[in-house]
Structure 1
């Protein structure tokens, strides 16, 4: 029977992964960040499509069905080890703490490039999905409802939601180092993706993706 790693071992794994992320080549960082951007949009589109299919038949269950569909997008991100802006906090900071130094230039490079190309990948595929007839019937309206809900939140509500969303993503980063196999990582990623969409709890790229997909 496998023994769960200690908190110290989890931190060491996080520091090692953080160092890998900080040392990526420009091509690798740009490519994985771009992929993460359009993967998030795919998850949001899946959410809208399932919501549109389920809600007219089972009133109120569309949100749950959509959240179940969105979780698949986060699984793709974790399995593909794509660079999502919000997931790039725990590991790089652990690497900095472990080295007893703050490589600000490398941290800023990682965060800026990841954010920019997450956004670029999301915007590009939002334009693709905006072509008439690409999305299943009812999906644009369902996505518009999701986007309007996010936009209409009070600033304090949005801020609190972002804290919850960021905490969930950081928790996922921590938990991924507590397991050893891809088979164990998949359900962890799926559950966190489900919870993010069920709230819905905002995190930066997911919120941007929702607004892009409704545009």
Structure 2
């Protein structure tokens, strides 16, 4: 019987390798999308997050509860997960891993980031405009929600909350790629959405929509 060396693990890290492979494969698919495909999935991603903002404003307006509003906001991340649309801040893990694995290019990554950011904002602004026009009673709640981001300014607190927001999205993405079950993938989506909404965490797309 052959003895293992000290450098060899007792148990092969198959689950971690499978998660990494899923990240690389999906990143390769994202980077390979056409301009139209990127624009469409990015725009729809903005719509999904906009729906989450609508849910947050409705619930906070009725219940005056930040926690319930944060839970309602997770509806947007549930939609993102099920529809597999693009969110700009999700693209700091999946496609980057693909580029590091040499299955994508830096130019392709820049194209993905730019297109997704612009179309996320466009889709989100469309929903926000419709919400403000269709639900005028929510304007006060929207102003109050937006004020929390304005008050952050550009100091260390805003920077720290931005890092936390990025950490939450990256963790959500990593956990979702650790399983092939859509039902299980909803769990980190709900948790991340709740923490972002209830904690008023500084998130690039969310802060631009409220």
Same fold by TM (over 0.5)? yes
Larger radius of gyration: 2
Structure 1 runs of 4+ with >6 Å offset: none
Is the CA contact 1:5–1:178 (under 8 Å) kept in the aligned structure 2? no
Q: Does 2:167 correspond to 1:164?
A: no
1:112 aligns with 114
Mapped to 1, the partners of 2:44 and 2:135 lie a distance apart of 20
Mapped to 2, the partners of 1:5 and 1:186 lie a distance apart of 23
Partner secondary structure for residue 101 of structure 2: helix
Is the CA contact 2:57–2:69 (under 8 Å) kept in the aligned structure 1? yes
Mapped to 2, the partners of 1:96 and 1:34 lie a distance apart of 24
Is the CA contact 1:40–1:73 (under 8 Å) kept in the aligned structure 2? yes
RMSD between superposed Cα atoms in Å: 1.6
Mapped to 1, the partners of 2:72 and 2:136 lie a distance apart of 14
Q: CA deviation at 1:94?
A: 0.9
Mapped to 2, the partners of 1:48 and 1:189 lie a distance apart of 19
1:154-184 Cα distance to aligned partner (Å, 9 max, x none): 4221111110001100111110111111111
The change in CA–CA distance for 1:129 and 1:5 in structure 2 (over 3 A counts) is: farther
Aligned pair partner of 2:67 in 64, 68, 74: 64
Mapped to 1, the partners of 2:182 and 2:123 lie a distance apart of 25
Which moves more between the two structures, 7-16 or 142-151? 7-16
Mapped to 2, the partners of 1:122 and 1:15 lie a distance apart of 28
1:191 aligns with 191
Mapped to 2, the partners of 1:179 and 1:129 lie a distance apart of 35
1:52-101 Cα distance to aligned partner (Å, 9 max, x none): 1012xxxxxx10110010001101011101100000111111111112x7
Structure 2 unaligned spans of 5+: 1-12
Mapped to 2, the partners of 1:14 and 1:114 lie a distance apart of 18
Structure 1 unaligned spans of 5+: 56-61, 211-215
Partner secondary structure for residue 152 of structure 1: helix
Aligned pair partner of 1:87 in 87, 90, 103: 90
Partner secondary structure for residue 82 of structure 1: coil
Q: Does 2:146 correspond to 1:147?
A: yes
Partner secondary structure for residue 24 of structure 1: coil
Is the CA contact 2:50–2:128 (under 8 Å) kept in the aligned structure 1? yes
1:6-32 Cα distance to aligned partner (Å, 9 max, x none): 222211111111101000122211111
Partner secondary structure for residue 122 of structure 1: helix
Mapped to 2, the partners of 1:5 and 1:199 lie a distance apart of 35
Is the CA contact 1:49–1:136 (under 8 Å) kept in the aligned structure 2? no
Mapped to 2, the partners of 1:93 and 1:104 lie a distance apart of 9
